[in-house]
Amino acid sequence: MDTHITQLVFPPGFIDLGAGIPSLELLPIDRLEQAAEEYFAACDRRTLQYGAEQGSGPFREGLAQWLTEISDYQVDPGCLMTTAGASSALDLLCTLDTEPGDVVFVEEPTYFLALRIFADHGLQIESIPLDQAGIDLDQLEKKLARAKPRFVYTIPTYHNPASLTLSPGRRERLAGLAQEMDFLILADEVYRFLGYEQDPPRPMADFSAAVEQVISINSFSKIFAPGLRLGWIQAHPRVIERLTRCGMLDSGGGFNPFTSAVVDQLIRSGDLAANITEVKKIFHQRLQVMEQALIQHLPQAVYQRPQGGYYFWVQLPGLDTGRLREQAKEAGIDFRPGSLFSNRKGLRDYLRLSFSCCDESEITRGISELGKLIRE
């Protein structure tokens, strides 16, 4: 029945080394069941009513407390707004803050499905290159001298697909530029909780308390389960106020009151934190397995070892990864070619490999097959 499923393409035996999703066995249905039991025991019918546009107070309080505990700065529940996931947040921000024809800047490479959302809203997309410390701010400044974008969309931590992390200095400079020139920063921070070897720099979310232009987008998809369709925006209270006064939320109430009430239990019980610890351990092992496999089977691959997140961003100098993908698929292997992540069909000798959705043996087998294909 599932006719068209972009995110789920798994014929049996097929190894998809490209999908940016957690593997099925990592989806913590038992923890969710426990949280649901606690939710139903509390029997609060208000959670089944139309909810507050900003999201329920108790949920945002619990979330703020957890974010405060794991950061070294205070998060206020008034700075948080419940969403139906990062994609819904981007869509909402496009509806409310842009008009067709507006120019927006993205990184090159960037998350390809965000490009689709921006295109649906008729936005004109321009690219800013990345270097090893994240988005190239000199290039950004040059572009800003010619045109002011409505927003800059950035993935500052454990970038998708480039696995880079924006340096602390550049974070400050970027927030400063946004404030000075008055353009929005939509910071997609969904990978920030998945650091495997050291803590990432302070999130862009942290700047939003002082800089109204900074809007941080986050989600439970990468730290718990995508199927919940639950996330949050962290921004200045004046920004939150503006976003919650839209027609869709006035009419339908806030996003997902029932689901957020269940996740509220999950946060308060400590089970969300426990889940993150668990998946981080597994992803870290998979990362190491993938690195070993790359060293062994793809010695020509150029990449920077990821410090967190889901991805290896691999350059195979001189090779057309779009064509390689066709051959790989026939051999039962998939990845995502670099051109997908380019707004100008560039990056043709790059590919994105994900260690989130395959187990260790599949990773080894998949990369070994890929190596064979390339040698042939």
Shortest Å distance, C-beta 315 to a second copy: 25
Shortest Å distance, C-beta 63 to a second copy: 11
Q: Is 171 helix (H, G, I), strand (E, B) or coil?
A: helix
Stretch that binds a second copy, among 242-250, 327-335, 341-349, 367-375 (CB under 8 A): 242-250
Shortest Å distance, C-beta 291 to a second copy: 26
- CA 208, CA 214: separation in Å to the nearest integer? 5
- CA 116, CA 30: separation in Å to the nearest integer? 34
In the bound state with a second copy, the residue whose beta carbon lies nearer, of 92 and 135, is 92
Contact between 143 and a second copy per CB under 8 A: no
Q: Measured on CA atoms in the order 296, 300, 305, 309, is the torsion positive or negative?
A: negative
- Number of residues in contact with a second copy, rule: CB under 8 A? 82
Selected from 119, 147, 295, 302, the binder of a second copy by CB under 8 A is 119
Contact between 142 and a second copy per CB under 8 A: no
Task: For residue 282, give both structure tokens.
Answer: 């597994």
Of 80, 70, 134, 83, the C-alpha closest to 259 is 83
Tell me, rounded to whole angstroms, the distance of Cα 240 from its chain centroid. 20
Long-range contact set of residues 225-229: C-beta below 8 Å, sequence gap at least 24: 225/22, 225/27, 225/28, 225/32, 226/7, 226/21, 226/22, 226/85, 227/27, 228/256, 228/259, 228/263, 229/84, 229/85, 229/88, 229/256, 229/259
In the bound state with a second copy, the residue whose beta carbon lies nearer, of 99 and 199, is 99
Contact between 248 and a second copy per CB under 8 A: yes
Contact between 58 and a second copy per CB under 8 A: yes
Residue whose pair of structure tokens reads 């921070």 in the numeric block? 189
Selected from 69, 138, 199, 250, the binder of a second copy by CB under 8 A is 250
Stretch that binds a second copy, among 107-115, 172-180, 200-208, 315-323 (CB under 8 A): 107-115
Report angle CA 232, 235, 238 to the nearest 5 degrees: 125
H-run or E-run covering 128: strand 124-131
Binding string, 64-103, against a second copy, x = CB under 8 A? -------------xx-----xxxxx-xx---xx--xx---
In the bound state with a second copy, the residue whose beta carbon lies nearer, of 100 and 129, is 100
Contact between 270 and a second copy per CB under 8 A: no
Residue type (1 letter), 305: R
Which 197-236 positions form the footprint of a second copy (CB under 8 A)?
221, 225-229
Shortest Å distance, C-beta 293 to a second copy: 25
Which 317-346 positions form the footprint of a second copy (CB under 8 A)?
none
Phi, psi of 352 (to 5 degrees): -105, 125
Task: For residue 289, give both structure tokens.
Answer: 């397995």
- CA 110, CA 99: separation in Å to the nearest integer? 21
Task: For residue 349, give both structure tokens.
Answer: 């000798």
Selected from 15, 17, 18, 54, the binder of a second copy by CB under 8 A is 54
In the bound state with a second copy, the residue whose beta carbon lies nearer, of 46 and 323, is 46
Which 12-51 positions form the footprint of a second copy (CB under 8 A)?
21-22, 24-25, 27-29, 32-33, 36, 40, 43, 45-51
